[in-house]
Amino acid sequence: MKIEFIPLQMHGDERGSLIALEESANIPFEIKRVYYMFDTCKNVTRGYHAHKALKQVAIVIRGSCCFVLDDGKDRVEVILDNPAQGLLINSVVWREMKDFTPDCILMVLASEHYDENDYIRNYNDFLRYVHNECE
């Protein structure tokens, strides 16, 4: 599975740093939804789903966390700990997030509005979906 990080250009001076996120510039899709997670309790794993169509870019604003990404063939763990780097998560990729530091703030940019019908929430259903999509 190809893991794609998106470098986010940081601007700054003695006053601090700034990163701009722009659809079709450094974000490869139209941004229709933004959400963020924080105060995640110790030893909690989140996610446990895939999306049929939605694409996302995950950016850790503070702290760090681990993403487990699975395309039905390969399973890869990726640490996010750099706010100047986004992780592109394409559609039909199972994702789990774990090992959140106490200060972690994880922001996610999404290509679509929330749609429960786009979710695959059972791993065996995900594997069947991947298998049927490849035929």
- The catalytic position among 11, 49, 51, 131 is 49
Distances (CA, A) of 23 to 7, 28, 29, 85, 124: 14, 6, 6, 15, 33
Contact 127/72 with Cβ under 8 angstroms? yes
Any catalytic annotation for residue 49?
Answer: yes
Residues marked as catalytic: 49
